[in-house]
A and B are shown apart, each in its own frame.
Chain A
Amino acid sequence: MVGQLRKPRLVNTSEVELSIPKVCGIETEYGIIAKGMDASAVTASSLLINSYVGRFDQNIGWDFQDEQPGTDARGFSLDDAFPPEIEMHLVNTVLTNGARYYVDHAHPEVSTPECRYVNEAVVYDRGGEEIVRQSMIAAKGFLPEGAELIAYKNNSDGKGNSYGCHENYLLARELSFAKMAALITTHFVTRQVFCGAGKVGCEFEAMQHNSVAYQISQRADFFEEEVGLETTLKRPIINTRDEPHCDPLKYRRLHVIVGDANMSEVATLLKLGTTAILLAMIEDNQMPEDLLLGNPVPAIRQVSHDPSLRQTILLENDKRMTALEIQQELCIRAEKYAKKFGLDAVGQEQGELILRRWREVIEGLQRDPMTVAHIVDWVAKKRIVDGIAARHNLRSNDARLKAIDLQYHDMRPEKCLALRAGLETFVTHQQALIATTTPPDSTRAYFRGRCLEKWPQDVVAANWDSVVFDIGKDPLRRIPMMEPLRGTKALTKELFDRCATPADLVAALGDEVSTSNFKPTN
Chain B
Amino acid sequence: MPERTRKQKPATTRTKSSPVEESKPAAQGEKLIAELDDLLDEIDDVLETNAEDFVKSYVQKGGE
Q: Determine if A426 and B18 form an interchain contact, defined as CB atoms under 8 angstroms apart.
A: yes
Residues of chain A with a CB closer than 8 A to B3's CB: 413
A206 to B54, CA, bound (A): 26
Decide yes or no: A164 and B14 within 8 Å by CB, A119-B19, A429-B4 being known contacts. Answer: no
Contacts between chains A and B (CB distance < 8 A), count: 174
| Closest Cβ–Cβ distance, residue B60 to chain A (whole Å) | 4
Residues of B within 8 A of A399 (CB): 51-52, 54-56
Chain A 103-116 interface mask (CB, 8 Å, partner B; 1/0): 01111010000000
Give which listed residue, A31, A105, A235, A383, contacts B32 with CB less than 8 A. Answer: A383
In contact, B20 and A157 (Cβ under 8 angstroms): no
- A373 at interface (Cβ–Cβ under 8 A)? yes
Residue numbers in A under 8 Å from B55 (CB-CB):
158, 399, 402-403, 406
Q: Mark A385-428, 1 if CB is under 8 A from B, else 0.
A: 00110010000001110111011000001110101111111101
How long is the Cα–Cα vector from A455 to B63 in the complex, in angstroms? 33
Q: Do B39 and A134 have beta carbons less than 8 Å apart?
A: no
A357 within 8 A of B: yes
B1-57 interface with A by 8 A CB criterion: 1-4, 6, 8, 12-20, 22-23, 25-26, 28-29, 32-33, 35-36, 39-40, 42-44, 46-48, 51-52, 54-57
**B64 & A41 in contact (Cβ 8 Å cutoff):** no
- Whether B47 lies near A424 (C-beta < 8 A) is no
On whether the beta carbons of A413 and B63 are closer than 8 Å, the reply is no
In contact, A419 and B64 (Cβ under 8 angstroms): no
- Are B26 and A353 closer than 8 Å at their CB atoms? no
The bracket for how many chain B residues form the interface is 35 or more
Q: Which of A481-510 contact B (CB under 8 A)?
A: none
The distance in angstroms between the C-alpha atoms of A370 and B44, with both chains bound, is 21
**Given A414-B6, A425-B15, does the pair A105, B61 have CB atoms closer than 8 Å?**
yes
- B contact residues around A152 at 8 Å (CB): 58
Contact of A420 among B12, B16, B19 (CB under 8 A): B12
Instruction: Give chain B nearest CB distance to A434 CB in angstroms.
Output: 13
Q: Which of B2, B29, B43, B62 contacts A373 (CB 8 A)?
A: B29
Smallest Cβ distance from B11 to chain A, in angstroms? 9
Tell me, in angstroms, the Cα distance from A384 to B41 when the chains sit together: 11
For A166, the closest partner residue in chain B by CB is: B64
CB within 8 A of B19: which of A231, A232, A269?
A269
Q: Which of A315-366 contact B (CB under 8 A)?
A: 353, 356-357, 360, 363-364
Known: A413-B2, A415-B46. 8 other contacts (CB 8 A): A105-B64, A156-B60, A161-B62, A163-B61, A266-B19, A402-B51, A403-B51, A413-B6
The 10 closest A-B pairs by CB, nearest first: A163-B63, A371-B29, A106-B61, A231-B64, A403-B51, A133-B2, A157-B60, A399-B51, A400-B51, A164-B64
B: residues with CB less than 8 A from A are 1-4, 6, 8, 12-20, 22-23, 25-26, 28-29, 32-33, 35-36, 39-40, 42-44, 46-48, 51-52, 54-64
Contact sample, A vs B, 27 pairs, CB 8 Å cutoff: A29-B64, A32-B60, A134-B1, A152-B58, A157-B60, A162-B63, A163-B61, A166-B64, A232-B64, A257-B64, A360-B22, A370-B33, A371-B28, A372-B29, A373-B29, A384-B43, A387-B39, A387-B43, A399-B54, A400-B47, A400-B51, A403-B51, A404-B43, A415-B46, A421-B12, A422-B39, A433-B1
A-to-B contact residues, CB < 8 Å: 29, 31-33, 41, 84, 104-107, 109, 119, 130, 133-134, 137, 152, 156-159, 161-164, 166, 231-232, 235, 257, 266, 269, 353, 356-357, 360, 363-364, 367-368, 370-374, 383-384, 387-388, 391, 398-400, 402-404, 406-407, 413-415, 417, 419-426, 428-429, 433
